[in-house]
């Protein structure tokens, strides 16, 4: 498996040795390069996911989806992005102007910080702490602050109701996500994403190693992750039939575009974290006893494995969205507090017993 740390070490040596930059200047240059790479990946994956969403939605509804702008409609998303960039940002009266303008940036900032936690390949971790899972859960919680500020500062009853729904929903389902991730931490024994992936590269993917508790945690994570992303059937905060557009009713131009962008990137982040925690991250698929098969799988680059697994989970989440009808807010909260939280707590204890008695693979 190729290690990207070799490339980063070579770049740092070139900056400090060949170009003669001092250490601080080399680190600053590398930081700017990493930031540009994150922003570029953020935009590219957003465009791809919007196109994928439209095609998958069309498939489930027996339609064709975008077909006219570009071959197979591939340029439709680019035209939509250009339109959004050129639309006027309307400043409304009787709103808290500062908070109203700041809220979209808070949502995007939280999304980018969590996006930077994803382990793309061996040695290709932008943010990698020994408490990486704790950091991920902490920064992902910042997005709800931007949503609440958007609803309150808009001075609109539909925006406020949508924001309160979203706050209640996101804060509630964070418990299930936290406990499912804690269940897998119990199995791997570390909170570092790089170590979690490295452990699965040696011992096999967690969803296979952990037996029933790992499978149950994966299912709960998919349900709670869909709710965290405000996607159907958990899209009550943006229910068009009731609240116009929910908490971003009063936003226009690129301010609305930031929420749209963050929604799809949060979908990919949720899928990427599922691929990391349960499906091995960048680790290839290996089967004990099939050395030839395992050797061939090891030739596939790690980032291809990671992106492929994440896209697979994205498809599962889209399948979930376009299959089930929208739930009521009381049903959403009852599902979390009466079912998912107790099952997650029981599953955590079950995983602890599996690890304590060495019943995992």
> pLDDT for 188-197, tens place per residue?
888 899 899 8
Does the pLDDT at position 33 exceed 80?
Answer: yes
pLDDT band of 334, cuts 50, 70, 90: very high
Residue 275 lies in a domain: yes
Tokens at 260, concatenated: 């749209």
- CA-based nearest residue to 249, from 146, 109, 143, 155: 155
- Please indicate whether residue 95 or residue 357 has the higher confidence score (pLDDT): 357
Residue 24 lies in a domain: no
Q: Give residue 340's domain range.
A: 84-356
pLDDT (0 to 100) of residue 163: 83
Residue 182 lies in a domain: yes
Residue 337 lies in a domain: yes
In three-state secondary structure terms, 93 is coil
Task: Point out the least confidently predicted range of 80-94, 100-114, 126-140, 184-198.
Answer: 80-94
pLDDT (0 to 100) of residue 243: 64
In three-state secondary structure terms, 298 is helix
Residue 70 lies in a domain: no
Residue 19 lies in a domain: no
Tokens at 309, concatenated: 């697994």
What sign for the dihedral angle of Cα 31, 32, 36, 42?
positive
Whole-number Å distance between alpha carbons of 108 and 95: 21
Residue 232 lies in a domain: yes
Name the average pLDDT for the chain.
86
Name every residue whose Cβ is closer than 8 Å to that of residue 26 and which is 6 or more positions away in sequence: 12, 15, 16
Q: What is the pLDDT of residues 110-122, one digit of tens each?
A: 888 898 889 988 8
Q: Determine if residue 288 is left, alpha or beta; phi over 0 gives left, psi from -120 to 50 gives alpha, anything else beta.
A: beta
pLDDT band of 176, cuts 50, 70, 90: very high
**Which residues make beta-bridge pairs with 164?**
none
| Count of domains for the chain | 1
- What end-to-end distance do the CA atoms of the chain give, in Å? 23
Residue 65 lies in a domain: no
pLDDT (0 to 100) of residue 91: 77
Whole-number Å distance between alpha carbons of 43 and 239: 26
């Amino acid at each position: 498996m190729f290690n990207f740390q070799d490339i980063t070490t070579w770049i740092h040596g070139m900056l400090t040795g060949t170009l003669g930059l001092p250490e601080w200047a080399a680190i600053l240059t590398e930081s700017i390069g990493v930031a540009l790479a994150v922003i570029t990946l953020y935009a590219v994956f957003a465009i791809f996911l919007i196109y994928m969403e439209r095609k998958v939605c069309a498939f489930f509804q027996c339609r064709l989806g975008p077909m006219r702008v570009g071959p197979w409609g591939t340029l439709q998303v680019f035209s939509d992005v250009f339109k959004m960039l050129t639309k006027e940002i309307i400043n409304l009266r009787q709103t808290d102007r500062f908070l109203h303008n700041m809220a979209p940036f808070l949502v995007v900032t939280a999304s980018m910080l969590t996006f930077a936690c994803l382990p793309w390949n061996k040695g290709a971790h932008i943010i990698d702490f020994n408490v990486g899972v704790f950091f991920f859960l902490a920064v992902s919680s910042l997005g709800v602050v931007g949503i609440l500020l958007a609803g309150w500062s808009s001075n609109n009853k539909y925006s406020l109701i949508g924001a309160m729904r979203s706050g209640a929903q996101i804060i509630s389902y964070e418990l299930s996500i936290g406990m499912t991730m804690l269940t897998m931490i119990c199995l791997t024994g570390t909170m570092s994403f790089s170590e979690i992936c490295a452990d699965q590269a040696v011992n096999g993917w967690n969803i296979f190693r952990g037996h029933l508790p790992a499978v149950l945690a994966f299912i709960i994570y998919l349900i709670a992750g869909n709710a965290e992303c405000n996607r159907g059937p958990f899209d009550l905060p943006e229910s068009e039939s009731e609240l116009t557009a929910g908490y971003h009713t009063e936003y226009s131009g690129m301010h609305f575009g930031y929420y749209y962008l963050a929604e799809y990137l949060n979908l990919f982040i949720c899928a990427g974290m599922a691929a990391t925690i349960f499906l091995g991250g960048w680790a290839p698929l290996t089967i004990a006893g099939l050395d030839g098969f395992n050797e061939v799988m090891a030739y596939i680059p790690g980032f291809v494995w990671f992106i492929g697994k994440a896209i697979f989970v994205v498809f599962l989440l889209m399948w979930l969205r376009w299959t089930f009808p929208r739930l009521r807010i009381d049903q959403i909260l009852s599902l979390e507090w009466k079912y998912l939280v107790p099952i997650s707590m029981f599953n955590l204890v079950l995983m602890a017993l599996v690890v304590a008695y060495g019943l995992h693979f």
